[in-house]
Structure 1
């Protein structure tokens, strides 16, 4: 959100960090959703997430460099979007899925604005306040598509066009579970001082108890886990579900932390 595939200060620096720490230097595709950088940035706010998943799937499946399989890294909302790709677009095979601050149970709050997008973020707040589950808002506002209101659970399950679907909260899709179980490992990074994601436990599949924002239900206590709707329980029992912490704010990490905690999964 608010970033692009090729910003030299963000994704561009991650690409260089990976290239400099893996030998031989790997092929890296930084997904651009749209025809240019401006489109890519705007689409992170206003392009239907399901359309983004289809767009990214096409980029991946038509790229011959990825035909034997690939590791994936998603930052913030990119983490949950890549999980949707694993569930819906299994070929070529995704190997390790690394979610850095991804909101896998969605968010209930929009606390601050990244970068210089203050006007855009104020507009988003107005739309979410107007009605996150209105059809128009769901179809045209990315953040509404993973807005998870614990006080309107039935409305969320009925109207959420993205998150409720990929989390098996509307109807059970066996293919989603089958495809997700094909990956080697799912690596989930939570930022312990996160002021962007509410609640931060969403980064590890935790979320508020229904009608109670003072109580968090952790992944292993959730119906998603107990009923193994996505295969997360099976992956956990097989030690393929990895939980990593960073004692920092959202996406604030050092090169050394990234090298120690993330790079090893890109060498497998």
Structure 2
């Protein structure tokens, strides 16, 4: 499958500036470095997207090191990774990169954009060194998706092909291996296939078997912040951005997080009791955050220490 158009879907969303920010050599004072992971259809370094986010964070926090993750050796591979490199491979690659980054040795804060949010959560669960302190999830699909109404940056025909694969063959092994979005496709009408054949999300959510290390490592976070976009037309259901999903066997009623198995199995109940979970919401479509909201609600979280 070939990518057809490298269009600019996210240009109308969270991106405020037009100049690419450059990272410095060390963090400033007690302000921790920040790691960013882009979403589907974006890259680490477009100056109108994560480049401007880096600049904004550096201006507002005085932190001198913001690392926007690039998957692969160049921007083309990074872009394609959002569709065609299995998340397990991406997470493993990122874990090694972060472990080798001396500027993160004292810990870091992280912001994940869309699918980059659940990928960063997997980093926190699988690779606790260096330590992630605060994880901010912007529109992350933590219980997966069931629907793909829009397909940013791809041609109509490519988007339709991906949608058909997800609707009819998401749990085929070759689709799981070759299409990123299939790895967090969650069919509430076929929970058994999801748990048994999901090659990424069911694992990091402790839904096939309970990996106690995942829960322990996630609880090492100082804070887990989830931002939901109330008018989201891309993520279905939008409640997955708050770690909620359809009750099993249907696709209408949302099961509250505290009634789901993942709440206990992944240690989220304990995080909630410790005041580590924070749920924010904002009017607007997927990743459409005004600069003022970002500065008011998210920048202070990057300034706080343990």
Of residues 21, 27, 33, the one that matches 2:65 is 27
**Offset of 1:20 from its aligned partner?**
1.0
Counterpart position of 1:204: 242
Q: Aligned ranges for residues 185-196 of structure 1 at < 5 Å?
A: 185-196=223-234
Q: Is 1:167 the equivalent of 2:205?
A: yes
Q: Does 1:115 align with 2:134?
A: no
Are 2:139 and 1:101 aligned? yes
Instruction: Assess if the C-alpha contact under 8 Å between 1:192 and 1:247 holds in 2.
Output: yes
1:9 CA drift (Å): 1.3
Q: 1:10 aligns with which of 39, 46, 49?
A: 49
Task: Give 1:8-157 correspondences, 5 Å limit.
Answer: 8-23=47-62, 25-157=63-195
Question: Are 1:243 and 2:286 counterparts?
Answer: no
- 1:84-137 CA distance string (max 9 Å, x none): 000001000001011000000000000012135544323311321340000000
Deviations 1:151-207 (A, max 9, x none): 110011000010000000101101101110111000000001011100000000110
Partner of 2:271, secondary structure, is helix
Q: What is the match of residue 196 of structure 2?
A: 158
**Secondary structure of the corresponding residue to residue 213 of structure 1:** coil
Q: Could you tell me which residue of structure 2 aligns to residue 220 of structure 1? A: 258
**Aligned residue-pair number:** 265
Match of 2:293 in 1: 257
Q: Which runs of 5+ in 2 are unaligned?
A: 1-39
Please give the alpha-carbon distance, in whole angstroms, between the structure 1 residues aligned to 2:275 and 2:158. Answer: 41
TM-score normalised to structure 2 length: 0.85
Q: Give the TM-score of the pair, scaled to structure 1.
A: 0.96
CA RMSD of aligned residues (A): 1.0
Structure 1 residues without counterparts, runs of 5 or longer? none
The 8 Å contact of residues 201 and 218 in structure 1, kept in 2 or not, is answered as no
Among 268, 274, 287, the residue aligned to 1:232: 268
